[in-house]
A and B are shown apart, each in its own frame.
Chain A
Amino acid sequence: QVQLVESGGGVVQPGRSLRLSCVVSGFTFSTYGMHWVRQAPGKGLEWVAVIWNDGSERYYVESVKGRFTISRDNSKDTVYLQMNSLRAEDTAVYYCARWGFYGDIDSWGQGTLVTVSS
């Protein structure tokens, strides 16, 4: 079955960097675009970034542009989120999610918690 497993979260000081990984299984990774979506504690969902199945295009929410980079390695069935210059407001559970075929998100990982605090 489809599985998405995030890792790399933790506690980091403001201004520092962190890289999240999401390893997938159960489907042909290179066929699907992938998203990162985050959820601050007690808050709603916020879409963060997307990468095309072949890595040819990427888009970001305005608040992370220039600081976050989404990438993927189709040989490792893995999508990444490099997060630089982290801020307190980046504190959230970060979900890896699969871009379905209908302008949708059809699968989600379990999430990894990133806490930005001094």
Chain B
Amino acid sequence: DAVMTQSPLSLPVTLGQAASISCRSSQSVVHSNGDTNLNWFHQRPGQSPRRLIYRVSQRYSGVPDRFSGSGSGTDFTLKISRVEAEDVGVYYCMQGAGWPWTFGQGTKVEIK
């Protein structure tokens, strides 16, 4: 199984400042069809997760452009260019390349 390791696990940030979360996989997350199926989700307290990024860097419709994803192979990053109050919560990476799909442990973003 692909083990997804996120860092840091806790990220205090100042409003308006940038934030960066790392996600590393224990094995390739390239699907047999050639796509790199690395996804990011955001979960606010008391809410269901919501989609942010698919295929490493593609933002879903409605996701602010301050969110960006990058990376390749086994090393990926989610960046928030200017953190806003609504961005607090836990961020998860997930690989969808092989069964079982697996999530990172989550990174808790909070405002300093």
Partner-B contacts on A (CB < 8 A) = 35, 44-47, 50, 59-62, 95, 100, 102-111
Contact = CB atoms under 8 A, between A and B. Distances in A.
Nearest to B101: A47
A108 B48 contact: yes
Interface centre among A46, A59, A105 (most CB of B within 10 A): A105
Contacts of A106: 51, 54, 60
A35 B102 CA distance: 12
B50 A108 contact: yes
Contacts of B101: 35, 47, 50
Contact of B97 (A103, A107, A109, A110): A103
A69 to B, nearest CB: 16
Nearest to B43: A45
B76 interface: no
Contact of B54 (A45, A59, A100): A100
Contacts of B67: none
Contact of A103 (B1, B55, B90): B55
A59 B102 CA distance: 13
Q: Closest 5 A-B residue pairs measured CB to CB?
A: A103-B37, A103-B96, A104-B54, A59-B99, A47-B101
Nearest to A63: B100
Contact of A111 (B1, B48, B51, B104): B48
Nearest to A107: B51
A110 B47 CA distance: 7
Contacts of A61: 100
Given A59-B99, A109-B48, A44 B105 contact: yes
Contact of A95 (B48, B60, B97, B104): B48
Contacts of A46: 103
A106 B59 CA distance: 11
Interface centre among A44, A46, A61, A62 (most CB of B within 10 A): A44
B39 interface: yes
Contact of A45 (B51, B99, B106): B106
Contacts of A107: 51
Given A61-B100, A103-B39, A108 B49 contact: yes
